[in-house]
Amino acid sequence: MKIGVFDSGIGGLSIVNAIIAGIPDIEVDFKNDAENLPYGTKTPDELFALIKPIFQEFIDDGCRVIVIACNTVSTTLIERLRKTFTIPMVGLEPMVKPAADMTKSRVITVCATPTTLGSERYKYLKDRYANDIEVIEPDCSEWAALIENNQMNNQKIIDAIEPSLKKGSDVIVLGCTHYHWIEDSIRAIVGDRAAVIQPETAVVRQLNRVIERLG
Ligand code: DGL
């Protein structure tokens, strides 16, 4: 089965690796839009105009499912994309519910792009699952572009995360696929003070379900 995977840039490759490791015999067509990165500071309308032709290409290339390996696009546009294209889509979004289930301190941290944090879907997730929990959203607005250009460093992680840890946050949600590439550095800095979570396993599980349904 051939599937499409989309992200603005290298964030999506972390999802591609997880899919290839988890689903034997899958053919992955990965497309990105590095020319227009970062996506995380663009409006939903700007993103839709960029994405529409790329999604059409996936369909023209014979993909049967599209994995939107980008929290920014999933949280702002998945409904609109589903109305525009009939192909099944798997999206991913910040793991607010799992974090709310895990936290003992009742303080969690969500690292995500400004567009994700400003989306209706993210607000819904917080209202639904974390309304009695403190949710800290550090400024990670430059991270995706820095990671894409291999310019990220530990001090930037410390500056963003340490204040959350000092406030007692015991779960850190990686709500942008680019951040998967610095997961090990984040874990090394956080140590045993907090859990660090991201959705690769859940995405592969959901993709498997969609593939099974397609037969
Ligand atoms: N990797 C994308 C995400 O998961 C966004 C990166 C960007 O800002 O372009 O949100």
Q: Does residue 215 have a pLDDT over 90?
A: no
Say yes or no: CB of residue 68 within 6 Å of ligand 1. Answer: no
Ligand 1 atom nearest to 37, measured from its CA: 9
The two domains 2-92+200-214 and 96-197 share their CATH topology (first three levels equal): yes
Q: Is-catalytic flag, 63?
A: no
- Confirm or reject: Cβ of 119 under 6 Å from ligand 1: no
pLDDT of 79 reads: 97
Q: What is the mean pLDDT of the chain?
A: 98
180 pocket-lining for ligand 1 (C-beta < 6 Å) = no
Going by pLDDT thresholds of 50, 70 and 90, the confidence category of residue 57 is: very high
Cα 186 from Cα 147, distance rounded (Å): 13
Mean pLDDT over 165-169 rounds to 98
Q: Compute the distance from residue 176 Cα to the ligand 1 centre, in Å.
A: 5
pLDDT digits (tens, 9 = 90+) for 9-45: 999 999 999 999 999 999 999 999 999 999 999 999 9
For ligand 1, say whether the CB of 198 is within 6 Å of any of its atoms: no
Q: Which of 63, 70, 111, 140 is catalytic?
A: 70
Question: How many A from CA of 178 to the centre of ligand 1?
Answer: 6
Q: Give the number of other CB atoms < 10 A from CB of residue 177.
A: 29
Pocket test of ligand 1: the residue of 6, 10, 14, 71 to mutate, having most ligand atoms within 8 Å of its CB, is 71
Is 140 labeled as catalytic in the residue annotation?
Answer: no
Q: What is the DSSP string of the chain?
A: -EEEEE-SSTHHHHHHHHHHHHSTT-EEEEE--GGG---TTS-HHHHHHHHHHHHHHHHHTT-SEEEE--HHHHHHHHHHHHHH--S-EEE----HHHHHHH-SSSEEEEE--HHHHTSHHHHHHHHHH-TTSEEE----TTHHHHHHTT---HHHHHHHHHHHHHTT--EEEE-SGGGGGGHHHHHHHHGGGSEEE-SHHHHHHHHHHHHHHH-
Domain locations along the chain: 2-92+200-214, 96-197
Is the distance from the beta carbon of residue 113 to the nearest atom of ligand 1 less than 6 Å? yes
Q: Which fold has domain 96-197?
A: Rossmann fold (3.40.50)
Tokens of 126: 């917080």
Q: Calculate how far, in angstroms, residue 37's C-alpha sits from the geometric centre of ligand 1.
A: 8
Neighbours of 158 (CB within 10 A): 15
The pair of three-digit structure tokens given for residue 38, joined into one six-digit string = 């970062």
Q: What angle in degrees, to the nearest 10, is found between the helix axes of 154-166 and 183-190?
A: 50
Residue that has been written with the tokens 């970062």 in this structure:
38
- Domain 2-92+200-214 part of CATH 3.40.50.1860: yes
Atom of ligand 1 nearest to the CA of 41: 8
C-beta 200 within 6 A of ligand 1:
no
pLDDT in tens, 175-197: 999 999 999 999 999 999 999 99
What is the value of pTM for the model shown?
A: 0.97
